[in-house]
């Protein structure tokens, strides 16, 4: 067996999804190079069965066995492509840990990813979801994506514009799901650790004030983000979760104004297309924060996070999510949209 490819049958997926939900893959291939990916895609299972690309499993609700081929992207490597003054292009393999990449770039004296620190998952999955936090989305720092186009059977390089980024969305997720298999992502970063910092969030400013830091840097922003996320979000290694389970809904300004008459403390931020409302606040007001239902529940510090204590199934978590959505809609007239992807047979 080649060192860059591992084949498994009836592979356990419970340790490959951060919710820790049970399920098996009929076939599973761990690929560590583009050559290995090409070999897997040329195989009999890939020709006859549905193919699912798997990263860190941090954005998945597994509701049972996956009757197909799961390809785990484990392509590693981080390299500097070019430098022009403070502008640096840096490429990372799809299998690299996202948080590991943020730490590596800061250690290299590069800034741009600090607001996205401690987000779980892999580099290859990040553009699919257009991950974002504290005023930064991956679209703000992505230069290009290298991927295998399954429709044309050729390698392609997609620019940020080609990726069709939107809030927690991309061409990879909603326009052409399954068409592109990302193997490498290139980022446009800065060699200055004091760029125009995105300090718009009060929590980040407050952390710096508490630490007595007058001149923030990319490193201190990363420290702030890590501290804030650690205080609010559970560690998947200790309690099963997939991070934010629902998107923050964007509603018309008129609807937000009407809601504020009934709920003066409504948490929302004005956007070009309306008002982005904090989904966690809606869920908490509807009375779900800290609720437990058997093996699943709502985190007691962040209502946006659904948790799995162990021994449960994906169907239980999805039933809880459906009840939360119905409750929020009844109370506020707002439809919540789930972030994680549902995989496996019920």
Active site positions, annotated: 168, 244, 339
Cβ atoms of 157 and 148 within 8 Å: the answer is no
Q: Which residues contact 105 (CB under 8 A, 6 or more apart)?
A: 90, 111, 112, 113, 187, 189
H-helix or E-strand spanning residue 44: helix 44-48
Beta bridge partners of 297: 292, 307
3-state SS class at 57: coil
Looking from the CA of 173 toward its CB, the CA atoms found within 13 Å total 21
Classify residue 129 by its DSSP letter. Answer: H
d(CA 139, CA 240): 28
Dihedral (C-alpha) 75, 98, 235, 66: value to the nearest 10 degrees? -40
Would you state the structure tokens that stand for residue 116, as one six-digit string? 């996205």
Cβ atoms of 47 and 85 within 8 Å: the answer is no
d(CA 102, CA 77): 14
Would you state the structure tokens that stand for residue 70, as one six-digit string? 């799961």
H-helix or E-strand spanning residue 327: helix 314-332
């Amino acid at each position: 067996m080649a060192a860059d490819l591992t084949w498994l049958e009836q592979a356990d997926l419970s340790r490959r999804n951060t919710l820790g939900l049970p399920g098996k893959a009929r076939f599973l291939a761990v690929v560590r190079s583009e050559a290995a990916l090409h070999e897997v895609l040329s195989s009999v299972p890939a020709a006859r069965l549905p193919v699912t690309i798997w990263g860190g499993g941090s954005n998945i609700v597994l509701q049972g066995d996956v009757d197909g081929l799961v390809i785990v992207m484990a392509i590693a490597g981080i390299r500097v492509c070019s430098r022009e003054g403070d502008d640096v292009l840096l490429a990372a393999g799809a299998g690299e840990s996202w948080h590991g990449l943020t730490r590596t770039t800061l250690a290299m004296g590069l800034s741009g990813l600090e607001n996205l620190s401690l987000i779980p998952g892999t580099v290859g999955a990040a553009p699919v979801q257009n991950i974002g936090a504290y005023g930064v989305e991956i679209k703000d720092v992505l230069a290009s994506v290298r991927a295998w186009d399954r429709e044309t059977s050729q390698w392609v390089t997609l620019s940020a514009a080609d990726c069709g980024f939107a809030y927690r969305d991309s061409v990879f997720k909603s326009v052409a799901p399954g068409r592109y298999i990302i193997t490498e992502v290139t980022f446009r970063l800065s060699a200055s650790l004091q760029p125009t910092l995105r300090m718009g969030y009060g929590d980040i400013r407050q952390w710096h004030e508490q630490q007595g830091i007058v001149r923030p840097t990319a490193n201190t922003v990363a420290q702030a983000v890590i501290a804030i996320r650690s205080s609010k979000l559970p560690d998947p290694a200790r309690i099963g979760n997939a991070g934010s389970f629902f998107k923050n809904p964007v509603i018309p300004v008129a609807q937000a104004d009407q809601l504020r008459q009934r709920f003066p403390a409504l948490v929302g931020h004005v956007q070009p297309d309306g008002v982005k409302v904090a989904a966690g606040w809606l869920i908490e007001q509807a009375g779900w924060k800290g609720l437990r239902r058997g093996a699943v529940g709502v985190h007691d510090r962040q209502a946006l996070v659904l948790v799995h204590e162990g021994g449960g199934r994906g169907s239980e978590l999805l039933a809880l999510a459906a009840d939360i959505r119905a409750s929020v809609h009844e109370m506020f007239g707002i439809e919540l949209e789930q972030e994680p992807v549902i995989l496996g047979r019920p």
